[in-house]
Amino acid sequence: MPSFTHLDASGNPSMVDVGEKAATKRLARARAIMVLGDEIMDRLEKEEIHTKKGPVFQTAIIAGVMAAKKTGELIPLCHPVGMENCQIHIQVNEQREVIIDCTASVTAKTGIEMEALTGASIAALTVYDMCKAFSHDILIKEIKLMEKTGGKKDFKRE
């Protein structure tokens, strides 16, 4: 039966010891889905929303990458990893939802999914922050891991 990995035998918080694990190539992709509402989406020009603070999606991409790089400092007991790559793509789907995908990769002894989830989350929060002057009717619908490879087991969400 699976157990929580960040608890020791006494139930206290504990960092997972990855010292004996082999380094493998790992990749993770996380997705945030946002609904910004018509008032904001009507401002979309050439796949970008422009505000007094600047281009929203471009700023969110930078913020997401910066956050992914700091994941080990933000999440307790999360190992810092030397990310080899982090890419954030933002698009608007047919339902006028903003789709933020963060893909991160590393060759390491432990995973990269927390970095991908952090990147997608902070990119979404940055979009929220930059658009709230137009309307607070903004919804971050979900943030989820879409896939991960490497480590003990692979995962892919359809």
Number of separate helices (H) and strands (E) present in the chain:
4, 8
φ, ψ (nearest 5 deg) of residue 84: -90, -25
Distance (Å) of CA 148 to CA 4, 28, 102: 19, 4, 12
Residue 30 has which token pair?
């996380």
Q: Which of 38, 42, 129, 154 is catalytic?
A: 129
CA separation for the pair 56, 37 (Å, rounded): 15
CA separation for the pair 94, 147 (Å, rounded): 23
Residue 53 contacts residue 132 (beta carbons within 8 Å): no
129 is catalytic: yes
Residue 81 has which token pair?
């990893």
Q: Which amino acid is at 25?
A: K
Task: Give catalytic residues, as residue numbers.
Answer: 129
